[in-house]
């Protein structure tokens, strides 16, 4: 089974105009879209598209309407990328029906089983979503390094004239996703998630549920708490574009 839990640590480090750092213990779930029916049938505490302690709902991703695999294929096709193999997404699961994913990472494989493309799906707290689709040039490279221009307003403390550099260690015994945001003056923020694989079982699902209670609330509350601390440090707000 490729699907798994990845308990780990989220860290952010902002360099300017005030130094600001944070770290939170969380967990993410790697979901192989082909395995969803089996996961739903096999585990008592996990469901697909319905309420449970933990669940995965495809409507939380993509356009919320198109079947998720079809949506992934459409994003890849629009970017001129062919990847007809397995699709696995690293994201926060729903916990008691609630979820907020600042970023979900889709690992898209070719028919030969090799990693062919990455989709970085970003949500902001204003209800907006954007996906960055980038081909993997060297499937054997570790880590995978990719870059793109910023296209979605995310933080009210950062402008739009920025570039993202992604550094990814694909899921295995461990997984790591680092996003470096830079502007004309250099690196402005570095965000990272690193986790260690834990095989799926009902015991493991119960374990993360009780160890990290109300995960969605923790994520959203953490975003606003850190924003308040930035305001108190005197960091200026930026205007959200139309």
- Contacts (Cβ under 8 Å, ≥6 apart) of 135: 79, 80, 81, 116, 117
Residue 237 maps to a domain: no
Residue 239 maps to a domain: no
**Closest by Cα among 158, 113, 214, 114 to 14:** 158
Grouping H, G, I as helix, E, B as strand and the rest as coil, residue 188 is strand
Residue 8 maps to a domain: yes
Any idea which of 19-33, 36-50, 106-120, 216-230 has the lowest mean pLDDT?
216-230
Residue 104 maps to a domain: yes
CA dist., res. 134 & res. 67, Å (int): 21
pTM here is 0.96
Residue 242 maps to a domain: no
Residue 240 maps to a domain: no
pLDDT at residue 141 is higher than 90: yes
Alpha-carbon distances of 128 from 61, 63, 102, 233, rounded to whole Å? 12, 11, 11, 27
CA dist., res. 87 & res. 109, Å (int): 6
* Torsion of Cα atoms, 133 then 92 then 31 then 165, to 10°: 30
Q: Is there a contact between 216 and 94 (Cβ–Cβ < 8 Å)?
A: yes
- The per-residue pLDDT for 241 is 87
CA dist., res. 8 & res. 26, Å (int): 6
pLDDT band at 213 (very low <50, low <70, confident <90, very high): confident
- The per-residue pLDDT for 242 is 81
pLDDT at residue 223 is higher than 90: no
DSSP state of 201: -
- The per-residue pLDDT for 214 is 85
Tally of CB atoms within 10 A around 195: 23
CA dist., res. 83 & res. 223, Å (int): 34
Number of compact structural domains in the chain: 1
89 has which bridge partners? Answer: 31, 106
**Closest by Cα among 219, 195, 218, 206 to 30:** 195
Task: Tell me which residue range forms the domain holding 217.
Answer: 4-232
- The per-residue pLDDT for 221 is 87
Alpha-carbon distances of 186 from 1, 22, 28, 211, rounded to whole Å? 41, 20, 30, 38
Residue 101 maps to a domain: yes
Q: Is there a contact between 149 and 156 (Cβ–Cβ < 8 Å)?
A: no
Tally of CB atoms within 10 A around 109: 18
- The per-residue pLDDT for 225 is 86
pLDDT at residue 218 is higher than 90: no
Residue 166 maps to a domain: yes
């Amino acid at each position: 089974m490729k699907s798994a839990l990845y308990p780990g640590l989220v860290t952010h480090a902002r360099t300017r105009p005030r130094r600001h750092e944070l770290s939170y213990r969380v967990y993410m779930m790697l979901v192989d879209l082909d395995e969803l029916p089996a996961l739903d049938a096999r585990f008592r505490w996990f469901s697909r598209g319905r309420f449970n302690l933990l669940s995965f709902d495809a409507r939380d991703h993509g356009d919320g309407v198109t079947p998720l695999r079809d949506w992934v294929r459409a994003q890849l096709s629009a970017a001129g990328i062919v990847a007809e193999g397995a699709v696995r997404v690293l994201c926060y699961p729903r916990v008691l029906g609630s979820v907020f994913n600042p970023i979900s990472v889709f690992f898209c494989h070719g028919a030969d089983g090799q990693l062919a493309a990455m989709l970085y799906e970003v949500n902001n707290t204003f209800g907006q979503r954007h996906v960055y689709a980038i081909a993997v040039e060297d499937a054997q490279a570790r880590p995978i390094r990719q870059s793109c221009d910023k296209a979605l307003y995310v933080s009210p403390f950062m402008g739009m004239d920025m570039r993202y550099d992604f550094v990814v260690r694909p899921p295995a015994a461990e997984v790591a996703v680092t996003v470096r945001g830079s502007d004309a003056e250099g690196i402005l923020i570095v965000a990272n998630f690193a986790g260690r694989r834990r095989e799926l079982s009902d015991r493991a699902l119960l374990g993360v549920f009780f160890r990290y209670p109300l995960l969605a609330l923790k994520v959203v509350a953490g975003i606003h708490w850190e924003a308040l601390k930035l305001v108190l440090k005197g960091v200026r707000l930026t205007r959200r574009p139309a």
